[in-house]
Amino acid sequence: MPLDTGFIGRVYPATQPYVVSRAKIAEFADVVGDDSPAYRDVEAALALGYPDVIAPPTFATIVTLEAAYAVVHDPALGLDWTRVVHGDQRFVYDRPLRAGDEITVVVTVESIRSMAGNDMIVLRGDVATVQGEHAVTSYTLLVARSAADSV
Protein backbone atom coordinates (compact mmCIF):
# COMPACT_ATOMS: atom_id res chain seq x y z
CA MET A 1 0.00 0.00 0.00
CA PRO A 2 1.56 3.31 -1.04
CA LEU A 3 2.20 5.86 1.68
CA ASP A 4 -0.26 8.68 2.16
CA THR A 5 1.16 11.69 0.31
CA GLY A 6 -0.95 13.84 2.64
CA PHE A 7 2.00 13.54 5.05
CA ILE A 8 4.17 15.70 2.76
CA GLY A 9 4.96 18.93 4.60
CA ARG A 10 4.12 17.49 8.01
CA VAL A 11 6.38 18.91 10.71
CA TYR A 12 7.16 16.82 13.79
CA PRO A 13 7.77 18.37 17.23
CA ALA A 14 11.36 19.26 18.11
CA THR A 15 13.37 16.44 19.71
CA GLN A 16 14.55 16.67 23.31
CA PRO A 17 17.66 18.89 23.55
CA TYR A 18 20.99 17.09 23.09
CA VAL A 19 24.15 18.64 24.55
CA VAL A 20 27.24 18.25 22.37
CA SER A 21 30.21 17.33 24.58
CA ARG A 22 33.96 17.42 24.00
CA ALA A 23 34.21 13.76 25.03
CA LYS A 24 31.61 12.64 22.46
CA ILE A 25 33.30 14.68 19.73
CA ALA A 26 36.67 13.06 20.50
CA GLU A 27 35.07 9.59 20.56
CA PHE A 28 33.44 10.20 17.16
CA ALA A 29 36.66 11.57 15.61
CA ASP A 30 38.65 8.61 16.99
CA VAL A 31 36.52 6.08 15.08
CA VAL A 32 37.61 7.47 11.72
CA GLY A 33 41.16 8.02 12.99
CA ASP A 34 40.82 11.76 12.58
CA ASP A 35 43.51 13.42 14.67
CA SER A 36 42.65 17.02 13.77
CA PRO A 37 43.38 19.16 16.85
CA ALA A 38 40.23 21.23 16.23
CA TYR A 39 38.22 18.20 17.51
CA ARG A 40 40.18 17.93 20.78
CA ASP A 41 42.13 21.02 21.64
CA VAL A 42 40.23 24.20 22.54
CA GLU A 43 43.28 26.38 21.79
CA ALA A 44 43.59 24.87 18.29
CA ALA A 45 39.87 25.42 17.70
CA LEU A 46 40.17 29.04 18.86
CA ALA A 47 43.12 29.55 16.50
CA LEU A 48 40.84 28.44 13.64
CA GLY A 49 38.21 30.95 14.73
CA TYR A 50 35.84 28.61 16.60
CA PRO A 51 34.65 29.31 20.16
CA ASP A 52 35.17 25.68 21.27
CA VAL A 53 36.19 22.30 19.79
CA ILE A 54 34.07 21.51 16.74
CA ALA A 55 32.43 18.24 15.75
CA PRO A 56 33.28 16.22 12.61
CA PRO A 57 30.90 16.90 9.68
CA THR A 58 28.73 13.81 10.07
CA PHE A 59 28.44 14.08 13.88
CA ALA A 60 24.89 15.37 13.38
CA THR A 61 23.79 11.82 12.44
CA ILE A 62 23.72 11.08 16.20
CA VAL A 63 20.61 13.25 16.47
CA THR A 64 19.18 13.27 12.92
CA LEU A 65 19.02 9.51 12.43
CA GLU A 66 17.24 8.99 15.72
CA ALA A 67 14.80 11.79 14.88
CA ALA A 68 14.16 10.22 11.46
CA TYR A 69 13.53 6.80 12.99
CA ALA A 70 10.99 8.31 15.38
CA VAL A 71 9.03 9.45 12.31
CA VAL A 72 9.46 6.07 10.63
CA HIS A 73 7.83 4.48 13.66
CA ASP A 74 4.86 6.91 13.63
CA PRO A 75 1.93 4.47 13.33
CA ALA A 76 -0.14 7.11 11.52
CA LEU A 77 2.41 7.14 8.68
CA GLY A 78 2.14 3.36 8.36
CA LEU A 79 5.63 2.69 7.04
CA ASP A 80 6.75 -0.92 7.39
CA TRP A 81 9.98 -0.06 9.19
CA THR A 82 11.28 -3.64 9.00
CA ARG A 83 11.73 -3.04 5.26
CA VAL A 84 13.32 0.38 5.55
CA VAL A 85 16.84 0.99 4.27
CA HIS A 86 18.80 4.24 4.30
CA GLY A 87 19.13 5.30 0.65
CA ASP A 88 20.74 8.74 0.56
CA GLN A 89 22.09 11.17 3.10
CA ARG A 90 23.00 14.80 2.59
CA PHE A 91 24.01 17.58 4.95
CA VAL A 92 23.96 21.31 4.29
CA TYR A 93 26.00 23.28 6.79
CA ASP A 94 25.63 26.79 8.19
CA ARG A 95 28.34 26.14 10.75
CA PRO A 96 30.00 23.14 12.41
CA LEU A 97 28.41 21.80 15.59
CA ARG A 98 30.62 22.43 18.60
CA ALA A 99 31.05 21.47 22.24
CA GLY A 100 28.47 23.17 24.42
CA ASP A 101 25.82 23.36 21.71
CA GLU A 102 22.42 22.34 23.03
CA ILE A 103 20.61 21.16 19.91
CA THR A 104 17.23 19.90 18.80
CA VAL A 105 16.01 18.48 15.50
CA VAL A 106 12.77 19.41 13.79
CA VAL A 107 11.83 16.82 11.17
CA THR A 108 9.73 17.75 8.16
CA VAL A 109 8.40 15.24 5.63
CA GLU A 110 9.95 16.67 2.47
CA SER A 111 8.61 14.22 -0.10
CA ILE A 112 6.90 10.86 -0.50
CA ARG A 113 6.75 8.84 -3.67
CA SER A 114 6.24 5.24 -4.71
CA MET A 115 8.18 3.51 -7.45
CA ALA A 116 7.94 -0.15 -8.45
CA GLY A 117 6.23 -0.94 -5.15
CA ASN A 118 8.94 0.77 -3.12
CA ASP A 119 7.99 3.70 -0.91
CA MET A 120 10.51 6.52 -0.81
CA ILE A 121 10.34 9.20 1.82
CA VAL A 122 12.69 12.16 2.26
CA LEU A 123 12.91 13.57 5.78
CA ARG A 124 14.48 16.96 6.34
CA GLY A 125 16.00 17.45 9.78
CA ASP A 126 16.75 21.01 10.82
CA VAL A 127 19.37 21.00 13.56
CA ALA A 128 19.46 24.20 15.60
CA THR A 129 20.54 25.29 19.04
CA VAL A 130 17.87 25.85 21.67
CA GLN A 131 18.72 29.57 21.27
CA GLY A 132 17.47 29.25 17.70
CA GLU A 133 20.78 29.31 15.80
CA HIS A 134 20.61 27.00 12.80
CA ALA A 135 23.68 24.78 12.30
CA VAL A 136 22.95 22.03 9.78
CA THR A 137 20.13 20.59 7.70
CA SER A 138 20.00 16.86 7.08
CA TYR A 139 18.17 15.24 4.16
CA THR A 140 17.57 11.53 4.68
CA LEU A 141 16.06 9.33 1.97
CA LEU A 142 14.52 6.18 3.42
CA VAL A 143 13.34 3.41 1.13
CA ALA A 144 10.73 0.89 2.27
CA ARG A 145 11.20 -1.99 -0.10
CA SER A 146 8.22 -3.71 -1.62
CA ALA A 147 7.05 -6.81 0.23
CA ALA A 148 7.55 -8.76 -3.02
CA ASP A 149 11.28 -7.97 -3.00
CA SER A 150 13.60 -10.53 -1.56
CA VAL A 151 15.81 -8.70 0.91
Partner 1 sequence: MSLRPVFTDLEVGQELPAHTFVVTRETLLRYAGASGDFNVIHWSQRHAVEVGLPDVIAHGNLTMALGARYLTQWAGDPGALREYGVRFTKPVVVPDTDAGTTVEITGKILELDGDSRVRIDLTVTSEGQKVLTQARAWVHLS
Q: Is 65 in the site for partner 1 (CB under 8 A)?
A: yes
Give the x/- contact pattern for partner 1 in 6-25, rule: CB under 8 A: ------------------x-
Say what the alpha-carbon torsion angle 29, 32, 35, 41 is, to the nearest 10 degrees: 0
Residues 88-107 close enough to bind partner 1 by CB under 8 A: 88-93, 95-96
- Closer to partner 1 by CB, 4 or 94: give it: 94
As a whole number of angstroms, the distance between CA 24 and CA 28 comes to 6
Among 7, 10, 14, 56, contact with partner 1 (rule: CB under 8 A): 56
Residues in contact with partner 1 by the rule CB under 8 A? 24, 27-28, 30-34, 36, 38-39, 48, 50, 54, 56-58, 61-62, 65-66, 85-93, 95-96, 139, 150-151
